[in-house]
């Protein structure tokens, strides 16, 4: 191939049943299955790629800044490019230009949307015709949670059993249209970068937490029960699984030695406020969940948004909220949306 370029967009996902701990570090295979909702365009990454003989090195820009491809975290994410290049039999260098449209300094992770958009754009630029399963398997090797952002709606990442990871990929369990009212109210309590990155944090947990061994079974059951609750439209059960899952993951983080603590006092106030709201309503109106940071994701239905906002308004320390709906997964954008200046072979200024 002489020249291949494409642009794609993808969004992050929020996990309802959490992934924390790899049984294979290289292939990124998890100890347990996990479930998430892919968010809509309110938060997204746009990525353009160009494979060309005219390039003499691989280059990767995020939000205008060139990334160091020898940095471990960047190299891990960039691994997907090598996998796809080998599949396509291409030896061309690549220029990758990516932009996150996340609200500035939101403190939200972009590795899932970034890797999903990168995989989607590369497959098109290289002319590879890959199924969602194949795309998900490739994305997983760049960032575990990104394999769930390859699909829209509510998605399960089956842990799989095979040593080569061929059965560890994401599958949709409900389309966006089946849960059109599901929303994520993100309460930003801190904009600091996380102190412990998920990659090293997970490794420390697997090595040192004795509670973690019990978690794998518990999370596997939660994945199955959550899928049943999604099918039977049982928001009450979904909400309790979401909250227990978040609590359980943060418990094994605390049980890690030295402990990993992502939640702060404001996060804990939010937990109390949501339990208070649900108790006074006599049913679950909302569920909280936290990833590797103190920002809260409040999962609720559109009709409950006002009640949730009321409850949150009584918590001191929330800087802002962002509401995202349920999304439909990555999609290709047209050439006019490309972030690459094809004359200069550089990011557009």
Handedness of CA 154, 268, 265, 183 (dihedral sign): positive
Within positions 177 to 206, which residues make up the interface with ligand PMV, using CB under 6 A? Answer: 198-199
Q: Which of 7, 18, 62, 121 binds ligand PMV (CB under 6 A)?
A: 18
Measured between alpha carbons, how far is 243 from 237 in angstroms, rounded to an integer? 10
- Token digits of residue 115: 């890797």
Residue 33 contacts ligand PMV per CB under 6 A: no
Question: Please, which residues bridge with residue 298 across strands?
Answer: 185, 288
Contact range with ligand PMV by CB under 6 A, out of 17-25, 67-75, 221-229, 322-330: 17-25
- Least distance CB 168 / ligand PMV (angstroms): 13
Q: What is the pairing mode between strands 346-347 and 22-24?
A: unpaired
297-323 per-residue burial string, b: 16 or more CB within 10 A, e: under 16: bbbbbeebbeebeebbeebeebeebbb
Within positions 215 to 254, which residues make up the interface with ligand PMV, using CB under 6 A? Answer: none
Measured between alpha carbons, how far is 270 from 298 in angstroms, rounded to an integer? 9
Total number of residues binding ligand PMV (CB under 6 A)?
A: 15
Measured between alpha carbons, how far is 296 from 290 in angstroms, rounded to an integer? 5
Residue 12 contacts ligand PMV per CB under 6 A: no
- Least distance CB 244 / ligand PMV (angstroms): 14
Residue 343: phi, psi to the nearest 5?
-75, -50
Residue 15 contacts ligand PMV per CB under 6 A: yes
Q: Which of 143, 222, 223, 246 binds ligand PMV (CB under 6 A)?
A: 143
Based on CB atoms, which residue is closest to ligand PMV, 20 or 169?
20
Cα 20-157-291 angle, rounded to 5 deg: 35
Contact range with ligand PMV by CB under 6 A, out of 105-113, 231-239, 274-282, 309-317: 105-113
Residue 34 contacts ligand PMV per CB under 6 A: yes
Based on CB atoms, which residue is closest to ligand PMV, 5 or 11?
11
- Least distance CB 65 / ligand PMV (angstroms): 20
Q: Which of 4, 9, 19, 269 binds ligand PMV (CB under 6 A)?
A: 19
Measured between alpha carbons, how far is 174 from 154 in angstroms, rounded to an integer? 5
- Least distance CB 92 / ligand PMV (angstroms): 28
- Least distance CB 157 / ligand PMV (angstroms): 8
Q: Are 149 and 112 in contact (CB under 8 A)?
A: yes
Q: Are 88 and 80 in contact (CB under 8 A)?
A: no
Based on CB atoms, which residue is closest to ligand PMV, 85 or 159?
159
Residue 144 contacts ligand PMV per CB under 6 A: yes
- Least distance CB 232 / ligand PMV (angstroms): 23
Residue 291 contacts ligand PMV per CB under 6 A: yes
Q: Which of 9, 48, 111, 304 binds ligand PMV (CB under 6 A)?
A: 111
- Token digits of residue 134: 């194949």
Extract the runs of DSSP E, i.e. beta strands, from 135-213.
154-157, 170-174, 182-188
Question: Please, which residues bridge with residue 183 across strands?
Answer: 300, 325
Residue 115 CB: number of other CB atoms within 10 A?
Answer: 31
Measured between alpha carbons, how far is 347 from 59 in angstroms, rounded to an integer? 10
Based on CB atoms, which residue is closest to ligand PMV, 35 or 95?
35
Residues in touch with ligand PMV (CB under 6 A): 15, 18-20, 34, 109, 111-112, 143-145, 198-199, 291-292
């Amino acid at each position: 191939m002489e020249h291949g370029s494409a642009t794609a967009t993808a969004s992050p996902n929020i996990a309802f049943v959490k992934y924390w701990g790899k049984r294979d570090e290289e292939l990124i295979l998890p100890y347990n299955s996990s479930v998430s909702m892919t968010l809509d365009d309110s938060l997204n990454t746009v990525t353009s790629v160009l494979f060309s003989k005219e390039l003499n090195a691989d280059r990767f820009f995020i939000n205008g800044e060139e990334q160091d491809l020898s940095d471990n975290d960047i190299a891990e994410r960039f691994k997907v490019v090598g996998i796809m290049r080998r599949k396509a039999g291409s030896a061309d260098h690549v220029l990758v230009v990516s932009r996150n449209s996340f609200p500035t300094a939101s403190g939200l992770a972009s590795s899932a949307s970034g890797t999903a958009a990168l995989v989607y754009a590369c497959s098109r630029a290289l002319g590879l015709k890959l199924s969602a399963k194949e795309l998900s398997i490739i994305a997983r090797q760049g960032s575990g949670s990104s394999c769930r952002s390859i699909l829209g709606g509510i998605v399960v990442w089956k842990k799989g059993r095979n040593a080569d990871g061929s059965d560890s990929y994401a599958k949709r369990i409900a389309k966006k249209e089946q849960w059109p009212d599901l929303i994520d109210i993100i309460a930003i309590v801190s904009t600091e970068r996380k102190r412990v990155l998920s990659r090293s944090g997970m490794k420390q947990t697997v090595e040192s937490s004795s509670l973690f061994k019990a978690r794998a079974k518990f999370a596997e059951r939660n994945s199955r029960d959550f899928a049943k609750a999604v099918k039977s439209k049982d928001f009450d059960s979904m909400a309790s699984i979401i909250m227990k899952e978040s609590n359980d993951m943060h418990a094994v983080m605390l049980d890690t030695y030295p402990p990993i603590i992502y939640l702060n006092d404001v996060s804990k106030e939010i937990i109390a406020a949501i339990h208070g709201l649900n108790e006074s309503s006599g049913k679950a109106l909302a569920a909280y969940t936290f990833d590797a940071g103190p920002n809260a994701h409040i999962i609720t239905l559109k009709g409950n948004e006002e009640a949730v906002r009321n409850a949150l308004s009584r918590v001191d320390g929330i800087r802002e909220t962002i509401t995202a709906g349920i999304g439909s997964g990555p999609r290709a954008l047209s050439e006019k949306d490309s972030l690459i200046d094809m004359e200069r072979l550089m990011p557009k200024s």
